[in-house]
Structure 1
Amino acid sequence: MTERMPRIRLFNVKFSPNLGDGLLAECLEMAMKECGGDASGTYSVDLSARTRYARGDASRSTVLRVLDGLPSSLRSLATAPPRELLLRRKWRPHYEQHLKGADAVVIGGGNLLTDMDLNFPVKVASALEMAARQGLPSAIYGVGVASHWSAKGTALMQRALERAKPIYVSVRDENSKRNFDSRFAAAAGRLAIVVRDPGLMIGRYLPTDPAGRREGIGLCVTSAVAIRYHSTQVVSDEDLATWYANLCKGLSAEGFKVVAFTNGSPEDEVVLDQIEPVLREAAGSGFERRRPDTPTELASFIASFSGLVAHRMHAIIAGVSLGVPVFALLWDEKLTAFMRSIERADCMAFVQPGNEPEVVSKLVASLDGSAAAAQTALLDETFEAARDLFRVLAR
């Protein structure tokens, strides 16, 4: 009798307006199916109960600005009531519905073990505890783990991990391993291993021809409020807009067209709407704006670039996977860790007034074909780690 293929539910934020989240979710889904997961029963379950790709509400930008201006204690008080209501009425029912018929549960990938106003601790802990109550084996795969946690967020995750006792735990960088092992390994009953971010498999599932790239540099615009909300970096909208404009001038002077886009986050789209005329003027005739609607579109755009400059981690990851030279604009420890993990610390910098020429110079110097040199080995390494996860789940 033929052995039934396992049905794996992957809990992540696949349908986030930030299409980078969908990109890594789709890569992990495809890898699990390629390894032998049931074609219809292996899929992602969005932790926010979303069910399709859609552009985010522009009001999110206003909400982030309000929350960004509040002390952490007041921010926690402001977010608690709506979060608890959504948990009872929307998130838990969604998880319960999609756990039916599952053989295993995976939390991954993305920056899911992070504590911003208890958002992910509440969601991830609920998913793990529900899986444990149903006797389903659970695993954590390729996640980012933040270093700063509230006491309540830590307690929520530790309790959930103690109940679930995951059969496998992996994280996407050494910083995340240190953070997981020191805070959660005892509760989980195991130390984390380090694997590559699953988004790095996009080059496996979206093969491209480097020779077909146009002479354009992708500029992935990120809002200052997003940078401030998710990191300790202090930057204003005005300073960031000026920096982007100066970068466009420098790239134009080198003969490159600039293609501006975002990963889809509504707060980023709002900012790009506002500064597009300034960027267009700075870049001269060589300027274009694009609006991807799906992760595949995002990856296809990136694959067409000669180079890429971005804050957003999964824009950078897609570029690396697709053999596109990248320059990372630093703002979060996860991006720094990723660039170091691929030995490209020479192609990253914080946004600082006056360093635009240096960024242009380093990016142009990297357009020598070396970005694609280690691409195959990197993609193979990432897939083999996903295969190891599948083997554990299929036992």
Structure 2
Amino acid sequence: MTSHASRSNPRRILLLGTHGQHNIGDELLLETFLHELGDDHDYVINTYDRADTAARLGDRYLYTLIDTARDRWSLLRHLWTSELVVFAGGSILKELSAATRRPRYATLLMIWAVVLGARLAGRTPIAMLNIGVGPLRTRRGRLLARLILASVSFVTVRDAASLEMCRRIGAARRVRPSTDAVFGVSPRWLRGGDDDRVDGSGPWRIALNLNHDVEAPELWDAAMRALSEALTVLAAERSIELHLLPMQSRGKEHDDATVLRAFARSLPGVPVVEHAPEDHRDVASIISSCDVVVAERLHALITASKLGIPVVPLIYDTKVREISHQIGAVDRAVDLSVPFSADAVLGPLRRIAAAPRETREQQQSAVDRLTVRAQQDFGRVRAWISARTA
């Protein structure tokens, strides 16, 4: 499937990621990289759902879509014909958890095959940009990650934990610290237009995102009971309205929307507004209408922080723990990998409600620094691409 946009003398870039799985965060990463790298390239993009990805991108860019699962020969052909290979963000160098129901090394082996294919195709330059590295719990996983990184020309990692993992496996020499790519875009771009934030009248609006794929699944039910108790107590203290914010509403068992609807049934006395966002613009609109965001998903937290909405991170893995530190929200975060009480959630919510302006200003100061870093890094990436394809 090919778009009809046309460019003169475009560079062909193979852009790889976890696209087409109906995860709004992954699709946001794809659109962020296309926006930042520019519309003067000819992109080849992998996806698990070509129709969905094509509908999202329209004719804004020149691109060809290849099916990740079915077009392996097409991928090999494009490895030979592309001028650059770019892995566009995401947690890609990791061992998969049992919750995914996929082989532990599936992602690492697939990426190693792509990297090896690119090398065999004539040493095509490879970049891995704003990626997450880890968890890598086994010797085999660390070896695969080290082999991959040793074959890549340009690498940036999105957080300190990823950089430390690269050091531990002996692969930090080419790795540059960065942050998540989405910090590089503007709030207006995220919203798709002007600010549509509502005024502060009415109930206190809480956007809630939940993701069932946690590192400690045995603690999930207890965590949901504590969260439900916290919101019930808060509703007795003040008027609140809960806005359900799924970042993945289909394409997997226990998707966010299903989990959120089940959780909402534990709050019979709390007004609940159900949303069905289709893309990052819908997510930004929902978040902009709320006073606080309580979320597990990385890009729900990043979008909220970019839009100036205070967050309470629900830490379910390393990347959320790292982003909590980066945006100065670690003192408001709740760790789902250990038992916690309702007070662990109530405390941060009460502090935000008591001092919303101070919380926003403190969070915004950290976000501003991350935005500068992300924009500078995209400038370096564009210069690197130009030098490699001149």
Q: Name the structure, 1 or 2, with higher relative contact order (CA <8 Å, separation 6+).
A: 1
Spell out, residue by residue over 1:142-164, the C-alpha distance to the aligned partner (whole angstroms, 9 max, x if none): 111114233333333444444xx
Aligned partner of 1:67 in structure 2 is none
What amino acid sits opposite 1:367 in the alignment?
Answer: P
Deviations along 1:329-360, one digit per CA (max 9) or x if unpaired, are 12212211111122322221225123232132
Q: For residues 233 and 174 of structure 2, what CA distance do their matches in structure 1 show? A: 46
* Cα deviation 1:81-106 (Å, max 9, x = unaligned): xxxxx99x736335235546422111
Secondary structure, counterpart of 1:141 in structure 2: strand
Return the alpha-carbon distance in structure 2 between the equivalents of residues 173 and 147 of structure 1. Answer: 13
Partner of 2:13: 8
- In 2, the alpha carbon distance for the partners of 1:97 and 1:16 equals 23
| Map of 1:21 onto structure 2 | 26
5+ residue gaps, structure 1, are 55-85
> 1:176 aligned to 2:162?
yes
Shift of 1:251: 4.2
Q: Distance in 2 between matches of 1:305 and 1:374?
A: 21
Kindly report which structure 2 residues correspond to 1:1-395, keeping only aligned pairs within 5 A, or say none. 4-33=9-38, 38-39=40-41, 41-42=42-43, 44-46=45-47, 49-53=48-52, 90=70, 92-96=72-76, 98-99=78-79, 101-116=81-96, 117-135=104-122, 136-162=124-150, 165-183=151-169, 185=171, 190-204=173-187, 205-207=189-191, 208-209=194-195, 211-212=197-198, 215-223=204-212, 226-227=213-214, 231-232=215-216, 234-237=218-221, 239-252=222-235, 253-264=237-248, 266=252, 267=254, 268-279=256-267, 281-283=268-270, 286-351=271-336, 352-355=340-343, 356-365=345-354, 367-368=356-357, 369-370=360-361, 371-373=363-365, 375-395=367-387
Q: Secondary structure at the match of 1:336?
A: helix
Whether the 8 Å contact between 1:210 and 1:323 is mirrored in structure 2 is no
TM-fit CA distance, 1:297: 2.1
Counterpart amino acid of 1:278? S
Structure 2, unaligned stretches of length 5 or more?
1-6, 54-66, 97-103
Instruction: Tell me if the contact between 2:206 and 2:293 (Cα under 8 Å) persists in the aligned partners.
Output: yes
Structure (1/2) with the larger helix percentage? 1
Conservation of the 8 A alpha-carbon contact between 1:181 and 1:192: no
Give the corresponding residue for 2:3: none
CA contact (8 A) 1:251 1:257 kept: no
Cα deviation, residue 232, structure 1:
4.4
Length, aligned pairs only: 342
TM-score (norm 1): 0.77
Please give the secondary structure, in 2, of the residue aligned with 1:328. strand
* CA distance in structure 2 between the partners assigned to 1:134 and 1:296 by the alignment: 38
Classify the secondary structure of the residue corresponding to 1:15.
coil
**Considering only aligned residues, what root-mean-square deviation do their CA atoms show, in Å?**
2.9
Q: Which residue of 2 aligns with 1:75?
A: none
Between the aligned partners of 1:258 and 1:159, the Cα distance in structure 2 is 46
Matched residue SS, 1:301: helix
TM-score of the pair, normalised by structure 2? 0.78
Rounded Cα–Cα distance in structure 2 between residues aligned with 1:25 and 1:213: 32
Kept in 2: contact 1:325–1:366 (CA 8 A) = no
- Deviation digits for residues 263-285 of structure 1 (CA, Å, limit 9, x no counterpart): 11541333223233223x141xx
More moved, 306-315 vs 248-257: 248-257
- How far apart, CA to CA, are the structure 1 residues paired with 2:162 and 2:92? 11
The whole-number CA distance in structure 1 between the counterparts of 2:365 and 2:176 is: 26
Amino acid of the structure 1 residue aligned with 2:326: S
